Structure 1
Amino acid sequence: MAEILDYHATGDGFELRYGSRVVVRHSASCPAVVIARGAPAVTMLRGNFRIEDAPSDERALVAWRRVEGGIAFDGALLAWDDSVLTVTATDLDFDRLYVRFHAEPGEAVWGGGEQMSYLALNGRRFPMWTSEPGVGRDKATELTRAMDADGMAGGDYWTTNYPQPTFLTSRWLAVHLDASCYSVLDFTDPAAHRVEVWANTARFELFAAPGSKPLVSRLSDRFGRQPPLPDWAIEGAIVGLKSGATSFDRLDRFVAAGAAVSGLWCEDWAGIRETSFGRRLFWDWQVGARSEARYPGLESRIGDLAARGIRFLAYANPYLSTDADLFEEAREGGHFCLRPSSDEVYLVDFGEFDCGVVDFTRAETRDWFAERILGREMLDRGIMGWMADFGEYLPTDVRLADGSDPMEAHNRWPVLWAAVNAAALASRGKTGDALFFMRAGFSGVQAHCPLLWAGDQSVDFTRHDGIGTVITAALSAGLVGNAYSHSDCGGYTSLLGNVRSEELMQRWCELAAFAPVMRSHEGNRPDDNLQYDSSDELLACFAFWSRVHAALAPYVRALCGEAALSGLPLQRPLFLEYPDDPSLFAVQDQYLYGPDLMVAPVIEEGAVARTVVLPGAGDWRHLWTGRDFAPGVHAIEAPLGRPPVFYRPESAHAALFAQFAQGNLP
């Protein structure tokens, strides 16, 4: 029988229970609901936001009475129906709600969408607002301080491309705020899970399950299920190059070095521009004069690659630069967001060039972008995938075609953008065959986006913006229904003298091989940084790990099948498979790749060993030596080229895994 919300009186207060779980506990000393009037101030610069509030007339609602269908406070109504809890301020002038959900002592909490810094959210607050994550993301570092001084661009531990106001707890309970407005998940009080909502009404959906995996499956059912990844995406690496026509010759070096290559990704397919940030793309998503100058005869080259079993991938985003050939077509078609008090196109500064924002609240515009750009300019020319970038930049003072409040629409923008991309694939019968990947997201993006990537990490080992954050990103996003994630192999952001090291390049390959998709990126300053074809050693490194990635394809294909049925992510926090061990609740520097592989990447600079937790009851077998290890905590040698990876000897895929110790890679 399904669990439902139920009311129980408790002295001077009450409890709302969801089955046997207490969800809300109200008393005079701990009110469940607080209301206030907000006074927001929002500043945006190139996708970085400063959001402040000065709430007034704050009221903790103490007195209450039972009414039909809910609880009436002096100033708010709390109502419930089965698994939905709704809180409404009865005075429309109050537009801030603070709802206090009950927390048990020691209860762990996760979620918040794709979080980069912390898997377990306890002790911190997390604003839910899609934005640039920032460069550095640690206020104690010189890099973050310098970026803050230059355009508010340093970020913090909570800034993310993909927030989602959903949290899960170790009572195997999940709470989802069904709203796109600005909100905050606040776990600083160990006795309460507090949700701040910038609205007059908040609708919360509740989910419960007997364990961690059934709970994650329920959330996947709610938000949407991705199609299985295409075979080509898991059977080789996607090589990212952006040097124009010479990219094809460079790709041949990867193939000659023995790399398993399934795709060539050229994000500069439509042209480039040079800026102080680095080499940027020309935001005009079509094959035209700039594209032809950079990639002469592109369609023919795409066909030649396809004959070799190599797909060509490109790039697009939902903005058009003012000097783009498509800009006038979009303006004449009414496809841009407008200024609030005129019919002028609202322009956004993207760093030394301005762009119009394509207005996806308008059905005609969604259709135009999906057909005119993604369909005719890309899919019809043989392009089989692309980075669907951005989605975080919707300003809060634009005028939208559907009349909606941009403060409400801002977080919905990545979902609308994902839906446009998915519609383009469906229009050509390419769903599950062609592949786009996104960094931006919000609740519901799961139903449209087949693959996440972790965004623009710095090219380093730093705690809050380096290589390790891609693990946390995959694990947190996977808990709220995103089965597939990957990262820019080698990192992306190189600023203020921060450049790639050989060690970073090698360690990132080791990590990327054990993700559903392995894809390299040249970064924002390719000429200043090492590339995987900069030396024979790095080329051999990439080739080896691409073959490891390809060799795992039968196992990954089985995991894709499981994801299609259950919504379980491929990269999993340890507690997902071992929910009865609280010591695993905060582990975020290693992960289970499906149920049978334990991957512990080396993410500390200079490390040649690391501590690995091996959970459960049975032995784990070292992938590279075949040696068995008992459950527990072990110090494992981890020289370059041998990251700690273990498998279950009883796995149905044990023969596949055993070939690594035997040296039988293809």
Structure 2
Amino acid sequence: MISCTMEQDRLVVSYGKLVLINHSPQTPFVTLYKGAESIDMYRGNFFIEDSLNETLPLKEYSLSEVLEEGRVYYKIVFSNGENRLTCILIEKAGRIEISFSAIPESYNRIELCLVANDDEHIYGCGEQFSFLDLRGKQFPLWTGEQGVGRNKNTNITQIADREDRAGGDYHTTFYPQPTFVSSRSYFLHAETYGYALFDFSRPLCHRLRFWDVPSSLTISTKPTLLEVVQDVSALLGRQGELPSWVYDGVILGIQGGTGTCLAKLDAMQKANVPVTGIWAQDWEGENYTSFGKRLRWNWQWDKNLYPGLDTVIPELMKQQIRFLGYINPYVVVDGPLFNEAKKKGFLALTKEGNVFLVDFGEFDAAIVDFTNREAAIWYRDVIEKELIGFGLSGWMADFGEYLPTDVVLYDKSSALVAHNAWPGFWAQVNKEAIEHSGKSDECFFFMRAGNARSLASCPMMWAGDQNVDWSEDDGLPSVLTSALSLAMSGMGLQHSDIGGYTTLYGMKRTKELLLRWTEFAAFTPLMRTHEGNRPKDNWQFDSDAETIGLFARMASLHKDLKPYLQHGVKENAEQGIPLMRPVFLHYPKEPFFECKDSYLLGRDLFVAPVMKNGEVQRKVFLPDESWVHLFSSKRYTAGNHLIETPIGSPAVFYREDSPFAELFSGISIKYRT
């Protein structure tokens, strides 16, 4: 129930026991600004400055209670002189919804001040790679390249900034979402795709600044944080279940042609590695730049690089091995698809009416304009014909975060607002292609870019282009942080490139890194490798017999977990409970509120992966249950423990009282060290 309490010049708004607004002239709920933005994009990296030229706090208020058609809502008018903003507060479907009138024309920024507690923890805001608990930081919500290194104090980030303006920062992300979850047991979602700045750095107030006034704020409070997270996806949408074959081993990322794929597959099969798919991102051709190996962005089979692939794919299918490819929402200049789209008027334009070309690093590509429904259908049909019709069972639906802010769109909408919306448009096109083909039970895709619309449209996220290193902000540890932050944003399924991707500035993937990443991947929804942008610099899955043996062990274990993983994915689809989840969703106590190096896979597996170079032991703090170590069958009680973690035996435990205890016990016996 909404309650509004007036006391002289103070207004307190609560929802049940949750205090949301504590407005006074000294701490106004609404502040308006006149701002002037400067946005510079360089190859997907955005440099944004916002100059605030005038500030207007709306210090006064008037409150009225309205009964309309049997429903009560509150109307609050915040004002300062002739400038005013009206808020409507109403309860809908067990949540409070706050809607806003337009702001005065002379202002173009709005900031809202919500009550905070000094000891509060904050999670979500889409996919965050550096921090799980967002308290004490500001987070600009804008989709773009995640950046290389993502920590301005590290040498790699400084080199990336200096040499290619590509360093990133703690907040840069492919997947921003104006949704956060509070340890006070509520979530807030802002319905807008405009640039936003969520500031959680103040002890008593969360400041949310928007360039585009949200059509609404939705706030939901529940008895537990788990129920809060479930309600996020109940509001925004939920991922469906995955095709059954996805769990049957590892998807091998292989490039270089038909012969290379078949030879590497044969070697892995002879070593008893369960392989469920080959992912060949260069199925449509190669393009080499100074960055490394890139792809030819014309989404049709390259018969020269992959001769006979049209007959190989059905033969692989007989062995229960799928073939996966790659696509993104752009078409390379002067390719057949570019020429067709240009002729039909399906490409986004410049202000002068020419096709807008985006620099992707030594080559240009055009943007398929998804605000034109005919263009979206055309690209849906490209996917259905060239990918699904050719026999692909899945693909990486890459990019989505590059939309320039000065592009002219078909529907005349502001590219400044459409920018953050674009990943959702792209996800929807891919989803429609699979649905239109009638192969929802057979095909899936995975994306790195996302937004609130992705929850209902994208069946699987992937973490993006991590460094091939151990760094907290952009290496192996960042993948776990990103999965847990997505979980708190309602997105329950995510995986990563095993071994990372970005191989620059002297970074080279080591054997140890690949082995530890493989261990971790076995306890995620999907196992998939990537060679990286410079494959010859990286240790690969077939670099030596020990590595192949580790893949055989962990991919087999992953396959053995199939009933449990399928149960967790079904739970995510039906109940909105993420498969990889923070420990505190079931054990809400310290130190779990800030724990980002351990997690629960489903309800019953506690996973503490090795994420430090040279580490052969893991300190773990087990929750209040009786636990069994998966690789020794030794029983542990709650509390601190030091666990031996030789290669192939990470610190993973199952709940002794789990309904899957028989499955886990059998796995423990099979893989005991």
Range into which the TM-score falls when normalised by the shorter chain: over 0.9
Q: How does 1:506-525 map to 2 (within 5 A)?
A: 506-525=515-534
Match among 264, 267, 286 for residue 253 of structure 1: 267
Tell me if structure 2 keeps the 8 A contact 1:227–1:432.
Answer: no
Is 1:590 the counterpart of 2:598? The answer is yes
Q: CA offset at residue 201 of structure 1?
A: 5.3
Equivalence for 2:72: none
Secondary structure of the structure 1 residue equivalent to 2:378: helix
Q: How does 1:356-395 map to 2 (within 5 A)?
A: 356-371=366-381, 373-395=382-404
- Structure 1 runs, 4 residues or longer, greater than 6 Å off: none
Is 1:600 the counterpart of 2:597? The answer is no
Q: Which deviations, in whole Å up to 9, do the C-alpha atoms of 1:159-215 show, x marking residues without a partner? A: 000010101111111111100000011100021111010124552111111111111
Instruction: Give TM-score, length-normalised by structure 2.
Output: 0.96
Q: Which deviations, in whole Å up to 9, do the C-alpha atoms of 1:582-602 show, x marking residues without a partner? A: 421110111000110000001
Q: CA offset at residue 561 of structure 1?
A: 2.0
Matched letter for residue 499 of structure 1: K
Q: Which deviations, in whole Å up to 9, do the C-alpha atoms of 1:349-381 show, x marking residues without a partner? A: 00000000111111001100011x211111011
User: CA separation in 2, counterparts of 1:102 and 1:205?
Assistant: 15
C-alpha distance 412-502 of structure 1, shift in aligned 2 (>3 A): same
Q: Which deviations, in whole Å up to 9, do the C-alpha atoms of 1:474-505 show, x marking residues without a partner? A: 11111222121100001100001100001001
Secondary structure of the structure 2 residue equivalent to 1:421: helix
User: CA separation in 2, counterparts of 1:511 and 1:260?
Assistant: 17
Q: Which deviations, in whole Å up to 9, do the C-alpha atoms of 1:243-292 show, x marking residues without a partner? A: 212111111111111111111100000000111100000000012xxx00
Is 1:418 the counterpart of 2:427? The answer is yes
Secondary structure of the structure 2 residue equivalent to 1:659: helix
Q: CA offset at residue 22 of structure 1?
A: 0.5
Secondary structure of the structure 1 residue equivalent to 2:442: coil
Match among 27, 32, 54 for residue 30 of structure 1: 27
Q: CA offset at residue 235 of structure 1?
A: 1.9
Deviates more, 1:422-431 or 1:68-77: 68-77
Tell me if structure 1 keeps the 8 A contact 2:30–2:78.
Answer: no
Tell me if structure 1 keeps the 8 A contact 2:35–2:54.
Answer: no
Q: CA offset at residue 66 of structure 1?
A: 2.2
Equivalence for 2:646: 639
User: CA separation in 1, counterparts of 2:215 and 2:446?
Assistant: 31
Secondary structure of the structure 2 residue equivalent to 1:332: helix
Is 1:185 the counterpart of 2:193? The answer is no
Q: How does 1:267-416 map to 2 (within 5 A)?
A: 267-287=281-301, 291-340=302-351, 342-371=352-381, 373-416=382-425
User: CA separation in 1, counterparts of 2:144 and 2:262?
Assistant: 34
User: CA separation in 2, counterparts of 1:293 and 1:480?
Assistant: 43
Tell me if structure 1 keeps the 8 A contact 2:44–2:402.
Answer: yes
Q: CA offset at residue 61 of structure 1?
A: 2.0
User: CA separation in 1, counterparts of 2:305 and 2:409?
Assistant: 35
Equivalence for 1:18: 15
Match among 127, 132, 144 for residue 140 of structure 2: 127
Equivalence for 1:63: 60
Secondary structure of the structure 1 residue equivalent to 2:420: coil
Matched letter for residue 331 of structure 1: K
Instruction: Give TM-score, length-normalised by structure 1.
Output: 0.97
Tell me if structure 2 keeps the 8 A contact 1:89–1:201.
Answer: no
Matched letter for residue 20 of structure 1: K
Q: CA offset at residue 335 of structure 1?
A: 1.2
Secondary structure of the structure 2 residue equivalent to 1:165: strand
Q: CA offset at residue 433 of structure 1?
A: 2.1
Secondary structure of the structure 2 residue equivalent to 1:101: strand
Matched letter for residue 261 of structure 1: V
Q: CA offset at residue 27 of structure 1?
A: 1.5
Between the aligned residues of both structures, percent identity stands at 42
Tell me if structure 2 keeps the 8 A contact 1:89–1:95.
Answer: no
Secondary structure of the structure 2 residue equivalent to 1:562: helix
Q: CA offset at residue 152 of structure 1?
A: 2.1
Secondary structure of the structure 1 residue equivalent to 2:466: coil
Tell me if structure 1 keeps the 8 A contact 2:151–2:473.
Answer: yes
Match among 539, 542, 545 for residue 554 of structure 2: 545
Q: Which deviations, in whole Å up to 9, do the C-alpha atoms of 1:397-430 show, x marking residues without a partner? A: 0000000000000000000000000000001111
Q: How does 1:91-130 map to 2 (within 5 A)?
A: 91-130=104-143
Is 1:153 the counterpart of 2:166? The answer is yes
C-alpha distance 87-582 of structure 1, shift in aligned 2 (>3 A): farther
Is 1:45 the counterpart of 2:54? The answer is no
Equivalence for 2:463: 454
User: CA separation in 1, counterparts of 2:421 and 2:212?
Assistant: 15
Tell me if structure 2 keeps the 8 A contact 1:489–1:512.
Answer: yes
Matched letter for residue 53 of structure 2: S
Tell me if structure 2 keeps the 8 A contact 1:359–1:400.
Answer: yes
Match among 71, 75, 79 for residue 73 of structure 1: 79
Gaps of 5+ in 2: 66-74
User: CA separation in 2, counterparts of 1:337 and 1:510?
Assistant: 43
Q: CA offset at residue 450 of structure 1?
A: 0.2
Tell me if structure 1 keeps the 8 A contact 2:192–2:213.
Answer: no
Secondary structure of the structure 1 residue equivalent to 2:557: helix
Q: Which deviations, in whole Å up to 9, do the C-alpha atoms of 1:19-65 show, x marking residues without a partner? A: 21001111222222111111000000110000101111111222222
User: CA separation in 1, counterparts of 2:577 and 2:185?
Assistant: 15
User: CA separation in 2, counterparts of 1:199 and 1:55?
Assistant: 15
Q: CA offset at residue 8 of structure 1?
A: 1.2
Secondary structure of the structure 2 residue equivalent to 1:546: helix
Gaps of 5+ in 1: none
Tell me if structure 2 keeps the 8 A contact 1:126–1:158.
Answer: yes
User: CA separation in 2, counterparts of 1:202 and 1:94?
Assistant: 17
User: CA separation in 2, counterparts of 1:626 and 1:11?
Assistant: 65
Q: Which deviations, in whole Å up to 9, do the C-alpha atoms of 1:508-538 show, x marking residues without a partner? A: 0000000011000111001221111111111
Match among 481, 485, 488 for residue 479 of structure 1: 488
C-alpha distance 201-637 of structure 1, shift in aligned 2 (>3 A): closer
Across the aligned residues of Structure 1 and Structure 2, the Cα RMSD in angstroms comes to: 1.3
Is 1:557 the counterpart of 2:554? The answer is no
Tell me if structure 1 keeps the 8 A contact 2:32–2:109.
Answer: yes
Matched letter for residue 363 of structure 2: F
Matched letter for residue 625 of structure 1: S
Q: CA offset at residue 664 of structure 1?
A: 5.8
User: CA separation in 1, counterparts of 2:206 and 2:600?
Assistant: 28
User: CA separation in 2, counterparts of 1:410 and 1:5?
Assistant: 35
User: CA separation in 2, counterparts of 1:152 and 1:18?
Assistant: 45
Secondary structure of the structure 2 residue equivalent to 1:15: strand
User: CA separation in 1, counterparts of 2:386 and 2:213?
Assistant: 44
User: CA separation in 1, counterparts of 2:671 and 2:35?
Assistant: 64
User: CA separation in 1, counterparts of 2:146 and 2:418?
Assistant: 19
Matched letter for residue 298 of structure 2: D
Q: CA offset at residue 468 of structure 1?
A: 0.7
Secondary structure of the structure 1 residue equivalent to 2:578: coil
Deviates more, 1:125-134 or 1:626-635: 626-635
Q: CA offset at residue 88 of structure 1?
A: 4.2
User: CA separation in 2, counterparts of 1:200 and 1:632?
Assistant: 47
Tell me if structure 2 keeps the 8 A contact 1:92–1:200.
Answer: no
User: CA separation in 2, counterparts of 1:206 and 1:27?
Assistant: 21
Secondary structure of the structure 1 residue equivalent to 2:490: coil
User: CA separation in 2, counterparts of 1:149 and 1:483?
Assistant: 36
Aligned residues: 655
Equivalence for 2:255: 242
